Structure formats: structure tokens, C-alpha cells
Amino acid sequence: QVHLVESGGGSVQAGGSLRLSCVASGYAYSRYCMGWFRQAPGKEREGVAIIYSNGITSYPDSLKGRFTISRDAAKFTLYLQMNSLKPEDTAMYYCAADIGARCTWNPIVYGYWGQGTQVTVSS
């Protein structure tokens, strides 16, 4: 059983930064494909960053240069550094684990999810 708990969300002005954390327990998350997803009210859940079990990362083109995913295996923690935040980034952010290592942008392949942390960016 994998348990994920996010933290670090909050309210920030446009152009500001936030660092989200996700603490994992139950299994060694570094052996999984891990991802950050977000969902705004009335919108579908979308992927914002993926880190593969070998440490390689992937981002949507629209977020490259602003968001950075990383992990600290010793602390069982996944991070999402978000810079140059825009109002369109406002959403609930979730971390997720795909123990099958399929590592796609489709949230359906991720079997484990945290409860989410809210990010609100004002103009």
C-alpha cells in the first residue's frame, strides 16, 4: 500500500514561486514513475511533470523552464518547484505514483494519489 501526502500549496502573486512536497510511505517511491498533476474547477486533471524511475524528467512544453520535478530518495519525498507562476496555474495539485512504470501523461495509469494541495495565483 502506497500513501502520498502533499504540502506546500498556498496563495501567491503572479510571478512568484512555490515548492510543493509529497511524502511517500509503504513502498520505495524512487522505484516508481512519479508525477504531479493538477485540476482546476470544471477542468480535467492534467499532468504537469513526470519523473521516471531512472531519474529522467518530462514536462509539457508549455511548462518547461517554469516547473521542475525532483526527488530525494533518502527522505521518500517528491518535489515540484514552481516559478514564474501565472493565474492559469491556479488548481489543486496532486502527486501520484505509477508502480507499473508506464510513465504516461494519462492519469488513469497512476494507481496512488495524495489528497492534494491548493495553489492559488492572483494577478
pLDDT tens sequence across 11-41: 999 999 999 999 988 766 556 789 999 999 9
In this predicted model, which residue has the larger pLDDT, 100 or 46? Answer: 46
Q: What's the mean per-residue pLDDT of the chain?
A: 92
Q: pLDDT per residue over 80-90, tens digit each?
A: 999 999 999 99
Residue tagged 514552481 (cell numbers) = 82
